[in-house]
């Protein structure tokens, strides 16, 4: 399975991408599942889901919610999150049977370690974060033994390919994490993935090469 995670549509204030065109773009780059996470809205996800069968790309409903401590993503949700209080948002996500993700932990967040301890998953590589911010995010996930994921944080079609997750299967019906293996396509990430227990990370398949390389230099300098 190839997953495009953390993507914004025109239903976010800072993107103009059309949900159907996002799926078509994913199809072209052989991404078979996409998780759309608009700001404080699931409309983009709902619109995209209507085109699943037509285009052949699965859609995971998601939302990136702004709270008093920064943003948190809910995936596998069915309704928009109403609260803007961090702890209440986490509770709402879980009440819907969803999974909470802390995106770009070291960009725009307060009390980062507490936030990371509360969520289910930490985004350890974000397409708009610096190498230093991504490296610190990975260190945090390792410290707290949290499952990890990478996200393009795409606001333009050309950014969708910047971070693609590859794994045998993402979640079963009980939403348990499956093993994700180090990608053979990005040797530069193999050292990082080697530090993460099997089954505890969703690894990058094709991130931006330069940023991946710089992140590793920062991690192991």
**Pairing, β 99-102 against β 121-126:** parallel
Total structural domains in the chain?
1
For 210, what's the count of Cα atoms within 13 Å in the CB-facing half-sphere? 3
pLDDT above 70 (res 32): yes
More confident residue, 9 or 125: 9
pLDDT above 70 (res 75): yes
Backbone angles phi, psi at 148, to 5 degrees: -125, 160
d(C-alpha 180, C-alpha 158), whole Å? 25
Tell me whether residue 75 is exposed, middle or buried, using C-beta atoms within 10 angstroms of its C-beta: 0 to 12, 13 to 18, 19 or more.
Answer: buried
Against a cut of 0.85, is the pTM above it? no
> Residue 52 belongs to what domain range?
2-220
d(C-alpha 201, C-alpha 188), whole Å? 16
Residues 127-162 have pLDDT tens digits of 899 888 988 998 898 899 888 888 999 999 999 998
d(C-alpha 155, C-alpha 165), whole Å? 18
d(C-alpha 202, C-alpha 3), whole Å? 10
pLDDT above 90 (res 2): no
Residues 158-188 have pLDDT tens digits of 999 988 877 644 333 333 333 232 233 223 3
- CATH number at 209 reads 3.20.20.140
Backbone angles phi, psi at 137, to 5 degrees: -65, -40
Backbone angles phi, psi at 19, to 5 degrees: -55, -45
d(C-alpha 50, C-alpha 19), whole Å? 9
More confident residue, 56 or 220: 56
Residues 104-115 have pLDDT tens digits of 999 999 999 999
pLDDT at 150: 87
């Amino acid at each position: 399975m190839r997953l495009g995670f953390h993507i914004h549509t025109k239903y976010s204030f800072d993107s103009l991408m059309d949900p159907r065109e996002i799926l078509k773009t994913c199809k072209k780059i052989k991404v078979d599942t996409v998780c759309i996470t608009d700001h404080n809205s699931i409309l983009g996800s709902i619109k995209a889901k209507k085109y699943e069968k037509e285009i052949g790309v699965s859609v995971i409903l998601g939302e990136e919610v702004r709270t008093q401590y920064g943003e948190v993503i809910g995936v596998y949700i069915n309704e928009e999150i109403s609260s803007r209080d961090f702890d209440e948002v986490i509770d709402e996500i879980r009440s819907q049977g969803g999974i909470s993700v802390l995106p770009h932990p070291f960009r725009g967040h307060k009390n980062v370690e507490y936030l990371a301890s509360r969520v289910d998953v930490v985004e350890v590589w974000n397409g708009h974060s610096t190498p230093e911010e991504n490296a610190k995010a990975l260190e945090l996930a390792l410290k707290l033994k949290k499952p990890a994921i990478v996200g393009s944080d795409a606001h333009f079609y050309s950014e969708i390919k910047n971070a693609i997750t590859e794994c045998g299967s993402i979640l079963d019906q009980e939403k348990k994490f499956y093993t994700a293996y180090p990608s053979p396509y990005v040797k530069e990430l193999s050292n990082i993935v080697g530090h993460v227990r099997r089954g505890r990370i969703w690894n990058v398949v094709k991130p931006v090469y330069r940023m991946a390389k710089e992140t590793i230099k920062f991690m192991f300098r």
